[in-house]
Amino acid sequence: MAALPEPTAPSTPAGPVVGFDLDMTLIDSRPGIHATWRALSERTGTYVDADLAVSRLGPPLVTELAEWFPAEEIPAMTDLYREMYPTHAITPTLPMPGVHEAMAAVHAAGGRAIVVTAKYEPSAKLHLDHLGIAADAVIGDLWAEAKGVALREHGASVYVGDHTGDVRGARTAGALSVAVATGPCSAGELRDAGADVVLDGLAAFPAWLARYTEERAARR
């Protein structure tokens, strides 16, 4: 019997692997999350200040739930929130300006665009599918330094996010931290946290990426 061919190693992209955060980096999920918090509050009879909750997006859901519910109720409230989320949060959510151009720029450079987010992974995929955002991989349920594990596994050299926790994730992975000042953290806070690059938003990302890939190629 003929010998089976040796398995080939997975191919690596010619361009960079760029990781992106989701909420307030690729999508403006505030309207949908606001609606979900209000629905949860009505369902449970527990007051939740939805305006305040959406002003501090970034950390995991359980962090915000702990502001409104006792510890023993958080597992059940997590399940209920995630059950309600597709009904209330997907349709109202909007793409951030420049998101499609940013993803296209990564692909045009021969790279891969992955999403690494603290959001529940099935919900993250629903958002991306609904808005037609072309990610090559989606990894959810990771926050701050834990994002660095997924970024390393996928060989990301750049991580784009809007929160100081995203800067920490990039640092953990040894990736370049590109911050967009479109979320709860100001440009100054992002710089102070150690971001390598701070952009006003994703609309500025394709031009930055073009410079980055040119410099990367020149170093080879």
Q: Is residue 16 over pLDDT 90?
A: yes
DSSP string, 119-142: S-HHHHHHHHHHHT---SEEE-S-
Q: Is residue 134 over pLDDT 70?
A: yes
> How confident is the model at residue 95, as a pLDDT?
98
- Of 115, 109, 120, nearest in space to 96 by CA: 115
Q: Is residue 10 over pLDDT 90?
A: no
Alpha-carbon gap, residue 71 to 57, rounded angstroms: 20
Residues 78-126 have pLDDT tens digits of: 999 999 999 999 999 999 999 999 999 999 999 999 999 999 999 999 9
Mean pLDDT of 134-157: 98
What confidence category does residue 14 fall into, taking pLDDT thresholds of 50, 70 and 90?
confident
pTM for the complete prediction?
0.92
Q: Is residue 156 over pLDDT 50?
A: yes
Mean pLDDT of 193-219: 94
- Torsion, Cα 124 125 127 131, to 10 degrees, reads 140
Alpha-carbon gap, residue 70 to 18, rounded angstroms: 38
> How confident is the model at residue 12, as a pLDDT?
53
> How confident is the model at residue 11, as a pLDDT?
44
Residues 26-71 have pLDDT tens digits of: 999 999 999 999 999 999 999 999 999 999 999 999 999 999 999 9
Under DSSP, the state recorded for 202 is G
Residues 180-203 have pLDDT tens digits of: 999 999 999 999 999 999 999 999
Phi, psi of 157 (to 5 degrees): -100, -10
